[in-house]
Amino acid sequence: MIKRYYTVHKFGGSSVANAERFVEVKKILTGTKEVIVVSATKGTTSKLQLLMDNARDGLAWQEELAALEKSHQIIIESLLPDNKRGDLLQVIGHDFATIANVFNTVSQIGNYSTDIQDFILGYGEQWSAQILTAYLALSTNTLYLDATKVLYSYKKDGVVCIDWERSEAALINYFQDKKFDQLVVTGFIASTPEGKRTTLGRNGSDFSGAIFAKLFHAIELIIWTDVDGIYTAHPAKVKNAFCIDTLSYKEALELAYFGASVLHPMTIAPAQDDNIPIYIKDSYNPAAPGTYISHTSTKSEHGIKGLTYVDDIALINIEGAGMAGVSGSAARIFQIMQQCNISVILISQASSEHSLCIAIANKFAAKAIEALNTNLQFEIETGQINKVTADTTCAILAAVGDGMIGSPGVAGKFFDTLAKANINIRAIAQGSSERNISAVIDSKDINKALQAAHASFYLADQPIAIGLIGPGGIGAALLNQIAAARDSVKAKNKVDLCLRGIMSSKKMILAENALDGDWKTNFEENATEADLDKFIEHLLSDDIPHAVIIDCTASNELSKQYLSFFNKGINIITPNKHANAGDLDYYRQIMAASHKKGCHYLYEATVCAGLPVISTLQDLVKTGDEVVTIEGVVSGTLSFIFNELGKGRIFSDVVREARELGYTEPDPREDLSGQDVARKLVCLARESGYSVSLSDIQVTNLVPEALRSCSIDEFLTRLPEFDGTIMEMAAKAKANNEKVCYAGKIHEDGKITVAIQSVAESHPLARLNGTDNILIFQTSRYNSSRPMVIQGPGAGAEVTAAGVFADLLRLTSYLY
């Protein structure tokens, strides 16, 4: 037996891509007690495969084959001095001539066998290993080993197996009379029992590394690749993915199997058998610690070690009353799959035994369905089994880690995160090893699912995609508030507020995060024509798990899009009252859609701006309180106007000022007509459970009749003509020590009344300043003698935007 003496290195194709990389490989090595397994130089195997296919198909291959030979010659000439190149150039020249001969034959026959394929594809490793041998031999005693001389493999049920006894004996025999400091071995290739060259399958060089580590009883196996190690998730899909420092063999196997392409799954077993630790390291960054894989199982503080996925999965569902309680149903289905040589990746069966589903590679779906239909024909015809179906648009997402074992809550978190990201789970499986929880989901959701689950387990900043529509008074103030608080929200709440777009009625900008820099300048200078479809498409791109539209317009048209937003899984936040106060059927539809789609709809600022009115009312209702009456002043603009008129100011001046200060609706007649008040009362009444509509309310319209249908500009210009009536009303009230106020009430029966009243200065409704609103809630718990009162500024950009912002933070707390 060979002593535990050597370190086995395995260098992948990218680590020997060109002459410079060979130089770096030499720097990584210590020069002694090393077995070095190499892949072909980057791209060589695929190129040989492609050219052989070209030869078969009658296409050109000669030029590219010559280029491949040239690229190897260049590496040799760069690495070796003149007097050391001759032999190697001759060997390689001879190999390429042989390949050309084979290709000529292949093109004449129009076909090639697996033996020919193995023979041709095995050349790449021979060239890279011989080049490395010659290069290392310039300074150490380096030997070259063609693995086919000692490594014997065979296939069982399509799986490559190693004849360990024969290989170890051959190795011992081979090295009886040989000594070396460094031994360079070809990866990927082996010998058939009959002594013919064969390959170990796609990316088989990792496997070769592990096999030679076991044959040499190595101290350690170091797999050199072009990434830092095994990541918590595929770094191309998850921005914050990071390198895992330690894994147990079993964890590594789960991750490798499920697509962590840095490591071939078959690499684990040989190393595990002999308790040889594996390092995955980056030959481009050798100082980085990489990933260490051993017997030791360490729990991660995150609950899991990594997330991985397999795409292109078909979910086959076999369902029928005749399966329940019948032993052998599952066995038959597996047998059918085995006969077709189809590997079953995941299975799930409900304890009712009424249905069984299996996940297989998509490319086998048609074959599987045909085989199941044929073999289960009797059961199908007699109705014991309903039709066998396949859904071919699936992917499997798996959370992996020994830390799940015996730790409650990991599965809960996994599924909860997927649910919150609106991802439908088709099937689930967790082995009793508790090391892997797998969910079958729609393939299109895989990126979103990876991001959401990664952010959730690794406590990374959770991104939320925000689309702001209506950067007017409220919208602009909101964007400034978000920009100012963004860093602290990130630090405290771990939420990354990603402003993906801003849109007005005419223009929009789409960005990765429009808060990077000055959003306003960016909007003014770079906006393009508004297009809601493109805006939404962009909002939902990049697979950010959650998206929200913040509607800061006063547009009724836009409110009609809410249903479609919910149907796309987008959350909505708004101070716009149109949806909640408009058509009752539509209101019911959007409320139902938001529930059905698992989307959140938040609209605190629709009533009394930033004052906590909606959330308070919702809490009262949710906790079983019964609203008796709600009354008060809900218009900031009208409150401001009557407060100013009480000081003797001129009506039209005050209206203009209220508009300039951002208190009024875009069209101030919405406030003066009482429509805005009526809308807020409808919102409150519906929230309290009443089926009311705007048309049920009789309002007092303060807009002079002559100015009701002209433009806003004409209205403002001509308003002074009508100052008299309303100023007289205010003056009269003042003379009586009273104040005019525009108040509303939701009565016990849900009826809504709105009235312009003159009330004593001591009355609560009269004791309002500036834009103050007041709402008095009488409920079963807050009775008439001690009602609940909410009072404070009810209009203005800052306070309203703060209410919308609070909704945004509330939303993120619901989502994450």
Ligand X SMILES: NC(=O)C1=CN([C@@H]2O[C@H](COP(=O)(O)OP(=O)(O)OC[C@H]3O[C@@H](n4cnc5c(N)ncnc54)[C@H](OP(=O)(O)O)[C@@H]3O)[C@@H](O)[C@H]2O)C=CC1
User: In the complex, which residue's CB is closest to ligand X?
Assistant: 472
Lay out the site mask for ligand LTNE7NMQ across 630-659 (x = CB under 6 A, - = otherwise): -----xxx----------------------
Question: Residue 469: which of 537, 544, 541, 549 has the closest Cα?
Answer: 549
Label residues 703-734 b or e (16+ Cβ within 10 Å = b): bbeebeeeeeeebbeebeebbeebbebbeebb
Spatial distance between the Cα atoms of 467 and 551, rounded to a whole number of angstroms: 8
Options 140-148, 175-183, 353-361, 613-621: segment touching Na ion (CB under 5 A)? 613-621
Please choose which of ligand X, Na ion, ligand LTNE7NMQ, none residue 497 contacts, taking the beta carbon within 5 to 8 angstroms, the exact cut-off set by kind: none
**Residue 803 CB, nearest distance to Na ion (Å)?**
5
Q: Do 344 and 360 contact (CB within 8 A), yes or no?
A: yes
Spatial distance between the Cα atoms of 212 and 268, rounded to a whole number of angstroms: 12
**Restricting to residues 462-501, which ones interact with ligand LTNE7NMQ according to CB under 6 A?**
none
Lay out the site mask for ligand LTNE7NMQ across 597-626 (x = CB under 6 A, - = otherwise): ------------x-----------------
**Restricting to residues 654-713, which ones interact with ligand LTNE7NMQ according to CB under 6 A?**
663-665, 671, 676
Question: Residue 336: which of 352, 356, 353, 312 has the closest Cα?
Answer: 356
Please choose which of ligand LTNE7NMQ, Na ion, ligand X, none residue 290 contacts, taking the beta carbon within 5 to 8 angstroms, the exact cut-off set by kind: none
Q: Which one among 131, 360, 503, 620 touches ligand X, defined by CB under 6 A? A: 503
Q: Which one among 49, 355, 513, 555 touches ligand X, defined by CB under 6 A? A: 555
Question: Residue 781: which of 599, 656, 624 has the closest Cα?
Answer: 624
**Residue 663 CB, nearest distance to ligand LTNE7NMQ (Å)?**
5
Helix/strand/coil for 330: helix
Please choose which of Na ion, ligand LTNE7NMQ, ligand X, none residue 403 contacts, taking the beta carbon within 5 to 8 angstroms, the exact cut-off set by kind: none
**Other residues' Cβ atoms within 10 Å of the Cβ of residue 405:** 12
Options 11-19, 262-270, 612-620, 763-771: segment touching Na ion (CB under 5 A)? 612-620
Please choose which of ligand LTNE7NMQ, ligand X, Na ion, none residue 635 contacts, taking the beta carbon within 5 to 8 angstroms, the exact cut-off set by kind: ligand LTNE7NMQ
Cβ-proximal residues to 736 (8 Å cutoff; 6+ apart), any chain = 758
Q: Do 290 and 228 contact (CB within 8 A), yes or no?
A: yes
Options 45-53, 172-180, 216-224, 601-609: segment touching Na ion (CB under 5 A)? 601-609
**Residue 607 CB, nearest distance to ligand LTNE7NMQ (Å)?**
7
Please choose which of Na ion, ligand LTNE7NMQ, ligand X, none residue 469 contacts, taking the beta carbon within 5 to 8 angstroms, the exact cut-off set by kind: ligand X
**Residue 383 CB, nearest distance to Na ion (Å)?**
59
Report which DSSP code applies to 494. Answer: -
Please choose which of ligand X, Na ion, ligand LTNE7NMQ, none residue 475 contacts, taking the beta carbon within 5 to 8 angstroms, the exact cut-off set by kind: ligand X
Options 272-280, 348-356, 522-530, 603-611: segment touching Na ion (CB under 5 A)? 603-611
Among positive and negative, which fits the CA dihedral 789, 792, 795, 799? negative
User: In the complex, which residue's CB is closest to ligand LTNE7NMQ?
Assistant: 637
Spatial distance between the Cα atoms of 759 and 736, rounded to a whole number of angstroms: 9
Whether 149 is a known active-site residue: answer: no
**Can you list the positions of beta strands (E) in 350-480?**
355-361, 389-400, 425-430, 436-442, 462-469
The edge-to-edge listing of strands for the beta sheet with 738-746 is 752-760, 738-746, 627-633, 772-779, 788-793
Q: Do 776 and 785 contact (CB within 8 A), yes or no?
A: no
Nearer to ligand X, 607 or 730 (CB): 607
What six digits make up the tokens of 227?
């990434």
**Restricting to residues 634-653, which ones interact with ligand X according to CB under 6 A?**
636
**Residue 491 CB, nearest distance to ligand LTNE7NMQ (Å)?**
32
What six digits make up the tokens of 497?
């507020």
Nearer to ligand LTNE7NMQ, 233 or 746 (CB): 746
DSSP for 244-258 reads: -SEEEHHHHHHHHHT
Q: Does 277 bind ligand LTNE7NMQ (CB under 6 A)?
A: no
Q: Which one among 259, 472, 750, 770 touches ligand X, defined by CB under 6 A? A: 472
Q: Does 609 bind ligand X (CB under 6 A)?
A: yes
**Other residues' Cβ atoms within 10 Å of the Cβ of residue 467:** 25
**Residue 389 CB, nearest distance to ligand LTNE7NMQ (Å)?**
52
Question: Residue 472: which of 506, 422, 518 has the closest Cα?
Answer: 506
Spatial distance between the Cα atoms of 470 and 504, rounded to a whole number of angstroms: 5
* Count of chain residues binding ligand X (CB under 6 A): 30
DSSP for 75-139 reads: HHHHHS-HHHHHHHHHHHHHHHHHHHHHHHHHHHHT---HHHHHHHHTHHHHHHHHHHHHHHTTT
Radius of gyration over every alpha carbon of the chain, rounded to an integer in angstroms: 37
Beta-strand pair 220-225/278-282: parallel
Spatial distance between the Cα atoms of 263 and 284, rounded to a whole number of angstroms: 17
**Residue 581 CB, nearest distance to ligand LTNE7NMQ (Å)?**
11
Give 334: exposed, middle or buried? Use CB within 10 Å, 0-12, 13-18, 19+. Answer: middle
For 51, 91, 128, 182, the CA distances from 13, given in Å and listed in that order, are: 19, 21, 9, 19
**Restricting to residues 772-801, which ones interact with ligand LTNE7NMQ according to CB under 6 A?**
794-795
Options 480-488, 510-518, 554-562, 705-713: segment touching ligand X (CB under 6 A)? 554-562
Name the active-site residue from 214, 250, 680, 739.
680
Options 318-326, 381-389, 465-473, 479-487: segment touching ligand X (CB under 6 A)? 465-473
Q: Which one among 125, 168, 496, 604 touches Na ion, defined by CB under 5 A? A: 604
Please choose which of ligand LTNE7NMQ, Na ion, ligand X, none residue 671 contacts, taking the beta carbon within 5 to 8 angstroms, the exact cut-off set by kind: ligand LTNE7NMQ
Q: Do 345 and 365 contact (CB within 8 A), yes or no?
A: no
Question: Residue 745: which of 729, 733, 756 has the closest Cα?
Answer: 756
Q: Which one among 29, 48, 440, 552 touches ligand X, defined by CB under 6 A? A: 552
Nearer to ligand LTNE7NMQ, 637 or 791 (CB): 637
**Residue 695 CB, nearest distance to ligand X (Å)?**
20
Q: Which one among 666, 698, 762, 769 touches ligand X, defined by CB under 6 A? A: 666
Q: Which one among 514, 659, 796, 808 touches ligand X, defined by CB under 6 A? A: 796
Q: Does 613 bind ligand X (CB under 6 A)?
A: no
Which one-letter amino acid corresponds to residue 261?
Answer: S
Nearer to Na ion, 438 or 639 (CB): 639
**Restricting to residues 733-752, which ones interact with Na ion according to CB under 5 A?**
none
Nearer to ligand X, 56 or 568 (CB): 568
Q: Which residues are catalytic?
A: 680
For binding to ligand X (CB under 6 A), which residues are involved? 469-475, 503-506, 552-555, 557-558, 575-577, 605, 609, 636, 662-663, 665-666, 795-796, 800
For binding to ligand LTNE7NMQ (CB under 6 A), which residues are involved? 609, 635-637, 663-665, 671, 676, 794-795
